[in-house]
Structure 1
């Protein structure tokens, strides 16, 4: 589980970005709102939309890439 924050100031596209606590692009503590602990940026997005319109996921820390893990349990 990660801790997510919402930028108080919009980006160049006019959207408020969601960042996890470890993101290198997270705004200062004065320029963000705490969203809470979530499993993914998409979950944090639901909460963010109750606070602001025009919300986006940070492309750096909230990547939607899915990685498969394959394991052979027969051994």
Structure 2
């Protein structure tokens, strides 16, 4: 079985804000809507998981799709 490497990139097509969760979902082959729901629920339910801060950091660190060589 051949593994194709897919980089962590922000999605241009599957985005609500910056495409971070859409890019992560595409990288792992997950449903992006379900990932967004889980991310929001975990962010609200857990004081130990600062969802907004994590999202902002990922937004800054992940290049947008097409910017990666």
User: Which TM-score bucket, shorter chain as reference?
Assistant: under 0.3
Compute the TM-score of the two structures, normalised by the length of structure 2.
Answer: 0.23
- Identify, as 1 or 2, the structure richer in helix: 2
Compute the TM-score of the two structures, normalised by the length of structure 1.
Answer: 0.22
- Identify, as 1 or 2, the structure richer in strand: 1
